[in-house]
């Protein structure tokens, strides 16, 4: 997936030493007000809404290829550009950008571990100057391998080789909190709230690899299976998709639209 020597997960310290290496594009998906106040030096701002498509009540859908071409061209992306993404919420929005890049066929990307909070709290330099990307031409080479559709999930509900991982809150999983016409979870899905992968004592950096592997294995999520992650829109679960890729899981799929798609269908099977 990542054909450079840059790791998938970049610590703030590693980014500090590599900020000037090669064609690097630092993308900040924080709230606009946060970006204006402070950001990693050289980072350009990207609005999360630009990389998702909404067809209410379904949200968090994949943009059409033409939209991705428009957005990535505006950022001057080339196949050689290494994208480092971060945000101010622990990595959900940033990971959704990386997921979208993977679907667009882009192979060079990393997540800043802990994002803006970890960077700033570790004492690294911050910048207030607004940076504008230099536009170019980027044509996505679409790769739908990372995508699970509603039909794919329906076709694999009884497939023991496929595990569904629901990373919403416990209340959403149990159907006590509902953000769609119907509440509950996809039959057979196991539950792990997405922020459980983060270390709150270390500015939302990821927990150590052995800890993450153990948390997942306890739920039957192992590297020999195809793992489908979902949340309400595939924002939170994009972070989990990244975590699994980082841990070396080869077969990981995200479900764009997630519960806003499944829970708003009248006939999809549901468990509570």
Check if the beta carbon of residue 197 is closer than 8 Å to that of residue 240.
yes
Q: Is 135 a catalytic residue?
A: no
Please tell me the number of Cα atoms within 13 Å of 239 on its side-chain side: 30
Q: How far apart, in Å, are the Cα atoms of 178 and each of 93, 120, 169, 173?
A: 22, 36, 11, 9
What is the DSSP secondary structure assignment for residue 235, as one 8-state letter? Answer: S
Cα–Cα distance, 107 to 98 (Å, whole number): 9
From the list 51, 197, 216, 231, the catalytic residue is 231
Chain center to CA of 136: 25
Q: How many other CB atoms sit within 10 Å of the CB of residue 48?
A: 17
Check if the beta carbon of residue 149 is closer than 8 Å to that of residue 47.
no
Check if the beta carbon of residue 76 is closer than 8 Å to that of residue 4.
no
DSSP 201-230: GGTTEEPPHHHHHHHHHTTT--TTSEEEEE
Per-residue b/e over 168-197, b at no fewer than 16 CB within 10 Å? bbeebbeeeeeebeebbbbebbbbbbbbeb
Strands 198-199 and 205-206: antiparallel
266: which 2 tokens? Answer: 């009248």
Query: Mind telling me the catalytic residues?
Result: 231
């Amino acid at each position: 997936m990542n054909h450079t020597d840059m790791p998938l997960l970049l610590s703030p310290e590693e980014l500090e030493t590599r900020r000037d290496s090669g064609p690097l594009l630092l993308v900040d998906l924080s709230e606009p007000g946060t970006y204006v106040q402070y950001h990693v030096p050289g980072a350009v701002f990207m609005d999360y809404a630009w990389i998702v498509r909404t067809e209410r009540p379904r949200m968090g859908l994949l943009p059409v290829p033409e939209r991705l071409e428009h957005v990535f061209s505006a950022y001057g992306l080339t196949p050689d550009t290494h994208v480092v993404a971060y945000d101010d919420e622990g990595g959900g929005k940033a990971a959704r950008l990386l997921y979208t890049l993977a679907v667009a066929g882009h192979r060079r990307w990393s997540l800043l571990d802990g994002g803006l909070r970890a960077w700033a709290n570790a004492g690294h330099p911050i910048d207030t100057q607004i940076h504008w990307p230099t536009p170019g031409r980027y044509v996505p080479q679409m790769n739908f391998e990372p995508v699970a559709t509603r039909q794919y999930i329906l076709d694999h509900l009884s497939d023991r080789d496929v595990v569904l991982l629901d990373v919403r809150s416990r209340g959403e999983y149990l159907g006590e909190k509902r953000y769609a016409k119907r509440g509950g979870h996809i039959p057979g899905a196991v539950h792990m709230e997405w922020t459980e992968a983060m270390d709150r004592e270390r500015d939302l950096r990821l927990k150590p690899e052995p800890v993450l592997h153990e948390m997942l294995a306890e739920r039957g999520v192992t590297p020999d299976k195809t793992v489908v992650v979902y949340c309400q829109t595939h924002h939170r679960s994009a972070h989990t998709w990244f975590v699994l890729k980082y841990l070396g899981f080869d077969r990981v799929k995200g479900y764009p639209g997630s519960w806003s798609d499944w829970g708003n269908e009248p006939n999809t099977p549901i468990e509570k």
